[in-house]
């Protein structure tokens, strides 16, 4: 029963990602087909997630909130943010060339870390003609943060909830 629920969850996430990214190579990338061209700055991601495969990926270790910032449940994030999280977990592809680039933390709202520790990803905003103000920032330790106001505030993402 649990494996079936997991497979249904993965299938649903895949469908959302394909719709959000227009299918442009995402289905092939996630199912082990021909991957889209990777940029030289893209970090390697986990292997493909294939529902029903014999070797399921090991469950990700979800870090505790190291920031002291308020938390938001993953299920409470906007649909576009959940789609961006799925792309991050899959290692791309990403919709914008600025995604998966170093985030400098110049605002000093996230815990201080060495340069290059944080990476940022765009969360599209419906109705915006540009990238909008929403982002997900990830840390090398696995933690993820959401901002809806272009780095004026952050919330720790409680993944899997």
> What backbone torsions phi and psi does residue 139 show, to the nearest 5 degrees?
-105, 155
How far apart (Å, rounded) are the C-alpha atoms in residues 105 and 92? 22
Whole-number pLDDT of residue 51: 52
Whole-number pLDDT of residue 89: 96
Q: Whole-number mean pLDDT of the chain?
A: 77
CATH top class, domain 2-158: alpha beta
- Residue that wins the pLDDT comparison between 67 and 19: 67
Whole-number pLDDT of residue 66: 87
Whole-number pLDDT of residue 61: 64
- Residue that wins the pLDDT comparison between 36 and 106: 106
Whole-number pLDDT of residue 12: 52
How far apart (Å, rounded) are the C-alpha atoms in residues 109 and 61? 24
102 pLDDT above the threshold of 90: yes
Report the catalytic residues: 120, 150
CA distances from 40 to 23, 34, 50, 52, 72 (A): 22, 17, 25, 32, 32
Q: Average pLDDT, stretch 31-42?
A: 43
46 pLDDT above the threshold of 60: no
Whole-number pLDDT of residue 19: 46
Whole-number pLDDT of residue 10: 47
């Amino acid at each position: 029963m649990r494996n079936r629920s997991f497979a249904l969850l993965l299938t649903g996430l895949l469908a959302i990602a394909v719709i959000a990214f227009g299918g442009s190579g995402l289905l092939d990338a996630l199912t082990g087909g021909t991957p889209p061209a990777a940029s030289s700055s893209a970090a390697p991601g986990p292997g493909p997630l294939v529902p029903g495969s014999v070797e399921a990926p090991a469950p990700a270790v979800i870090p505790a909130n190291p920031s002291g910032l308020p938390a938001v449940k993953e299920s409470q994030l906007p649909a576009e943010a959940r789609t961006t999280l799925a792309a991050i977990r899959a290692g791309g592809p990403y919709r914008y060339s600025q995604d998966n680039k170093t985030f400098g933390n110049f605002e000093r709202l996230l815990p201080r870390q060495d340069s290059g520790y944080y990476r940022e990803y765009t969360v599209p905003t419906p109705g915006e003609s540009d990238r909008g103000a929403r982002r997900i920032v990830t840390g090398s330790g696995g933690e993820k943060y959401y901002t809806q106001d272009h780095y004026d505030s952050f919330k720790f993402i409680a993944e899997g909830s």
